[in-house]
Amino acid sequence: MQKLEVFGANKLKGKINISGSKNASLPILAATLLSNKKVYLNNLPKVKDIETMINLLKSLGSITKFNKNSLIIDNYKQNKNFASYNLVKTMRAGILVLGPLLAKFGNAKVSLPGGCAIGTRPVDIHLKALSKLGVKYKIIQGYVHAMAPKGLIGSKIHFSKISVGATENLIIASTLAKGTTILSNCAIEPEIKDLVNFLIKMGCNLKWVAKRSLKIVGVNQINETSYSVMFDRIEAGTYLIAAAVTEGNLKIKNIIPKIILTEINTLRKIGAKITTKKNEIHIIGNKKINNVNIKTAPYPGFPTDLQAQIMVLLCKANKKSIVKEDIFENRFMHVAELNRMGANISIKGNKAFVEGNTKFAAAELMATDLRASVSLILAALTTKGKSVINRIYHLDRGYENIEKKLKKVGAKIRRVN
């Protein structure tokens, strides 16, 4: 099994190009199932979750050709509606094929999803909302057996809770439903806006009618489409934090700064010096790191996917900080490993109390999930000596060429078998 060795104590300096967004690519890939024509996607990241989703599409009958960061999908023979546990178990986004398969075929059998062990991630919000479009379902031996006897029929749906996955599934399903669907209390993450833009390019009829409300009029024809996926804002945030934690000097390129204003403003409060251009952020880390209190929230709040990374930075702050996790109930699994490196973090319910003034020490470490694994790299970059991070397959699910990108800006890091 592969490991990462990190030799710390280097200030990162240089330029990092941000890859396409994993979290935007996955629902867009699922949505390609709506089409029987060719779809050309650009700026896909080469990460494990994308590979898994492409394999899932292939298992459903899609013909795919992946070259560098571009993918051609042809669904003229796509006729299967069974998504196997073997492909869905490693990735929660697998459930997103349920909506398009129901829209296209009127029935589907899809495994309940897997992914990181950071909470229950219930799909009941997806299923209750789909039932309002005329879907009947049962869960048998870990599979959702769903059918729409009269086809999908447009409806008014108010999500009981803001859910990224449920919003994505219902948007995709509603595009081919008969009549009009109004979705309210939608998640409005940039990745969802990217999905909507992609569907509009395919010839679907979608319009935002309020901040969290979307009107979708069903269509019966999909166009051949070419689309470029947005940048990965979580990857961008991770490298911004890497610069701040190492007192580095980085230019983060291929991004749209206004999409990550919350993260930029948080880092400014913590003490980093940040300037922005149209497609670039320049960050210089400060020796003095200020404490702040943070709570994760749906967009435009602070993202849960950067909570572990920002906690590493707050460990080095001059005073105590509090991090409140309001999205997932089990997302403090990195804390035990950071404490082994010398941090002083205590957990009470959904709050982490970070004491600050930490001098991290090198250690052998275990990654527990995707974002936890990258937080351990950030901590290891600030130490003297060699840290070893095990189970980095988590990392490969969401970060493209992370050690190459970090090496380019001065990190001493290598992958070993």
pLDDT score recorded for residue 114: 63
- Report the distance separating Cα 206 and Cα 218, nearest Å: 9
State pLDDT tens for residues 245-255. Answer: 999 999 999 99
Q: Is 187 helix (H, G, I), strand (E, B) or coil?
A: coil
pLDDT score recorded for residue 330: 73
Percentage, residues of the chain above pLDDT 70: 98
pLDDT score recorded for residue 118: 34
For residues 147 and 136, is the Cβ–Cβ distance under 8 A?
A: yes
pLDDT score recorded for residue 100: 98
- Report the distance separating Cα 278 and Cα 262, nearest Å: 17
Give the torsion through C-alpha atoms of 18, 19, 22, 25, to 10 deg.
Answer: 130
pLDDT at 6 over 50: yes
State pLDDT tens for residues 368-380. Answer: 888 889 999 999 9
Rounded to the nearest 5 degrees, what angle is found at the Cα of 337, between the Cα atoms of 89 and 301? 70
The Cβ of residue 417 has, within 10 Å, a number of other Cβ atoms equal to 5
pLDDT score recorded for residue 117: 45
pLDDT score recorded for residue 370: 82
Confidence of residue 329 (pLDDT cuts 50, 70, 90): confident
Instruction: Tell me the HSE value of 133 on the side-chain side, using a 13 A CA sphere.
Output: 36
If we measure between CA atoms, which residue out of 307, 248, 177, 215 comes closest to residue 15?
A: 248
State pLDDT tens for residues 201-225. Answer: 999 999 999 999 999 999 999 999 9
pLDDT score recorded for residue 84: 93
Give the lowest-confidence range in 176-185, 287-296, 327-336, 374-383: 327-336
For residues 83 and 94, is the Cβ–Cβ distance under 8 A?
A: yes
Give how far Cα 197 sits from Cα of 131, 200, 228, 237, 415, Å: 25, 5, 10, 23, 38
pLDDT score recorded for residue 41: 98
pLDDT at 116 over 50: no
Active-site annotation holds for 315: no
**Mean predicted lDDT score pLDDT of the chain:** 95
Selecting among 116, 186, 204, 315, the annotated active-site residue is 116
Tokens linked to 258: 């206004």
Rounded to the nearest 5 degrees, what angle is found at the Cα of 157, between the Cα atoms of 79 and 175? 35
For residues 221 and 237, is the Cβ–Cβ distance under 8 A?
A: no
Domain annotation for the chain: domains and CATH numbers: 3-19+232-416 (3.65.10.10), 22-228 (3.65.10.10)
State pLDDT tens for residues 346-403. Answer: 999 999 999 999 999 999 999 888 888 999 999 999 999 999 999 998 899 899 999 9
If we measure between CA atoms, which residue out of 285, 277, 283, 273 comes closest to residue 255?
A: 277
Mean local confidence (pLDDT), 71-99 = 92
Mean local confidence (pLDDT), 14-26 = 98
State pLDDT tens for residues 156-207. Answer: 999 999 999 999 999 999 999 999 999 999 999 999 999 999 999 999 999 9
Per the document, the length of the chain is: 417
pLDDT at 111 over 70: yes
Confidence of residue 55 (pLDDT cuts 50, 70, 90): very high
Cite the beta strand spans of 76-153 per DSSP E.
Answer: 82-83, 107-111, 136-140, 143-147
